[in-house]
Structure 1
């Protein structure tokens, strides 16, 4: 009879230093090699006083997210965890309550505006070459500001995109901090002068919106109205703190919302048969008109395309949790005080659940194919009490924007470029994706 509380053995060559260095240097390769070289679905690594346990089985992931979620915390400090969960409960209604009635029309309007901008640029030159990542970011920032902050920033979107990208590239980036938040020891980072200027621009810009929101009638559906009510030790937080929190939300939203719509254009260009089937569905159902929220149930292939993009390039590629109490995964005991991590990137490309996992195949998402796989072999938005606040917002936005633009445009990869998925929280295309846009 197996020992139900067996201890996971640390690999002989694993040390805290080489674990930390490997995660910072090449995190994707490191976690991929770990699961390929170990037979069990759990690997233990030394990480200072708190060992890391890499989980790689759908049943284990279900336990963390759902069935045993009380054993885990996203924040190390208990009070900070309580504050985080309270904040989530306050923010979630802003995402959920207005999706079909208010948010969906804003999403399609932003896509139509992009179509008109592309059309104007296309008429002025023989062909239209763009960085599709920056184009998608403009669309998503337009949507985020109008939906969550109730302000129209379309005219400023390009400047904001440039500042955010400068911040991403120039921020002395520490992958550990971005991947695992405070799960890892802190490290000092430095900013380039360009990144410092971009950061100042973004903070001042957001501070101006906060000051304007104080003097205007509060919209209860705005994220600003929620932030203005927040307190620390019984005292209202300052405008500077509100601006900083709002900026953090903008940064996280841009990563989550821009990733899928960037890589979908790349994958459609690489798989013309998928692109053709998508165009057929859009033509048959929409016939050139702008889609609405009510059209989405009639666009199943569009949804399958986007699910497959999130499988290959998940909005968040790794998740970490603190273990609050002793817990068993299968026959192994993981003690309280440890850290568990598990990766969408690994699970979504696991050959046990996805045949030819590196291939782009939307037919993996038929009802029959999904029913044949374990539920947590795919978890782009996590689950349970700490699931992503945008779990419904992002898929709705992606489907409406793609359905609007793909009716009118095809994209093709520009030659002689380096495409590098940059593993921050999401698979950001580090150097963008240069493409030419062509009218259909």
Structure 2
């Protein structure tokens, strides 16, 4: 059958059977050495849904390592709020670290706290306001090139758009070649990170060479070269720039030290992925869902006509575009760009009052929790009205966590939300995008990506 999300599904598992407080239940039987890795690697999203159906705290094995899956928002909140206290960030694979380096997403302890304090000011609300005109302006440039009846690949168009926004907000005005070179390298990196994480590569030592690791190394070299070139140009310039990179270059920690060249590279790549990869994916899924839900598309168009009329949106319109915000939130519920979070138990760690063995890897999945019928009635339906502050659903804290939570919540969450809403507003005010019939499946790579081209016909409103 086909749900309102446009995704074909089979028989849905029964709702989760909550454990007794302070207990766990066993997950599916694994195999020697690999544990449940083969089942996980075959289809990670379905695997987490099956774990959710077993209970709120489910034991399984990621290779030889003991793991615990969490389905209850209260337990998920404990994991996220206790990270950096009783839970550590896991040692992410060599593929991930080759691209991300030791940026704020990867760093731990005092190093993480220092980097967070240096990066956070560049994405505060005041700074996001200054980037809003660039976001809307880039979207207008794109929409002005389209015409009624034109055929487009939404995936390619949104990637090009968010690349342009990222290059201009992070690096300042630059050439298209920068966006294209970094974009191609990021595409390779994303595929290889996802492939290694869900395959046997997740268990291989860092020194073992594989074709995927060779490809990601070449991609990282392209990224490094482009970032180094732009950083050097910024440092040669005397004028003050309003972009993110300039703010990072000027930032000083409490001792007066600046970020090193290597740290600048790592934080720049982190911001690029947050400002491009995640928003591009969210927008693709939003157009896909809107095309399959005419009622929602009409409601969105009505709000845009009412709030904007014939003008383009700006930062101050973001707060007034409540239905557009709900469309983005509901898209992130059904197709969360980041689809899992993990932590590693330190000595003394507990979840739901249950003491954990030191080293236990604890997992939560946005994909599985966002589709839990206990928190989201008719979970497969695309229904932005559930986010209506006056008449929507009562959604527990940490039942929806596309940007994580706790001390390590995504620093760019507001940037991403404002960008997605403004792009939707610019384009949907002019056009409907009629996505071709047929199911598009999510692929869990570094972010949740469509499995193929997303072809559509542009229809002028």
TM-score using structure 2 length:
0.81
Q: 1:52 aligns with which of 39, 64, 67?
A: 67
Do residues 265 (structure 1) and 287 (structure 2) align?
Answer: yes
Counterpart for residue 207 of structure 1 = 228
**Which residue is equivalent to 1:74?**
89
Inter-partner Cα distance in structure 1 for 2:224 and 2:80 = 34
Higher deviation after alignment, 44-53 or 167-176: 167-176
Correspondence 1:27 to 2:44? yes
2:337 aligned with 1:337: no
Partners of 1:184 and 1:305 lie apart in 2 by 41
Q: In the alignment, is residue 433 of structure 1 matched against residue 454 of structure 2?
A: yes
- 1:254 aligned counterpart, secondary structure: helix
Residues of 1 paired with 2:347 and 2:145: CA distance? 54
Deviations 1:314-348 (A, max 9, x none): 12111001112333333533222211110111111
Q: Contact 2:178 / 2:226 at 8 angstroms: preserved in 1?
A: no
**1:269-307, CA deviations, whole angstroms, 9 ceiling, x for partnerless residues?**
100111011111111111121011111222211111111
> Using a 3 Å threshold, how does the CA distance of structure 1 residues 299 and 220 change in structure 2: closer, same or farther?
closer
Secondary structure (helix, strand or coil) at the match of 1:51 reads strand
Partner of 1:13: 29
Distance, in Å, in 2 between the alignment partners of 1:244 and 1:143 is 19
Q: Please point out which of 298, 310, 315 is paired with 2:337.
A: 315
Mind listing any 5+ residue stretches in structure 1 that lack a counterpart? none
Query: Paired residue for 1:85?
Result: 113
Which position in structure 2 is the counterpart of 1:396? 418
Q: Residue 142 of structure 1: CA displacement?
A: 1.7
Q: Tell me which moved more, 252-261 or 192-201.
A: 192-201
Q: Which moved more, 1:212-221 or 1:346-355?
A: 212-221
Q: What are the ranges of 5 or more consecutive residues in structure 2 without an aligned counterpart? A: 1-18, 93-105
Matched with 1:108 is 136
Q: Contact 1:230–1:237 at 8 Å: present in 2 too?
A: yes
- Normalized against structure 1, the TM-score is what? 0.84
Q: Which residue of 2 aligns with 1:61?
A: 76
How has the CA–CA distance of structure 1 residues 183 and 99 changed in structure 2, closer, same or farther, with 3 Å as cutoff?
farther
Structure-2 separation of matches of 1:389 and 1:267: 27
Provide closer, same or farther for how the CA distance between residues 86 and 176 of structure 1 changes in structure 2, counting only shifts above 3 A: farther
Match of 1:372 in 2: 394
Structure ranking higher in helix proportion: 1
Query: 2:169 aligns to what?
Result: 147
Shifted more, 209-218 versus 405-414: the winner is 209-218
Cα shift at 1:409: 1.1
Contact 1:131 1:432 in 2 (8 A): yes
Report the CA distance shift for 1:369/1:19 in structure 2 as closer, same or farther (over 3 A).
farther
RMSD of Structure 2 on Structure 1 (CA): 3.5
Q: Quick one: distance in 1 between partners of 2:193 and 2:345?
A: 30
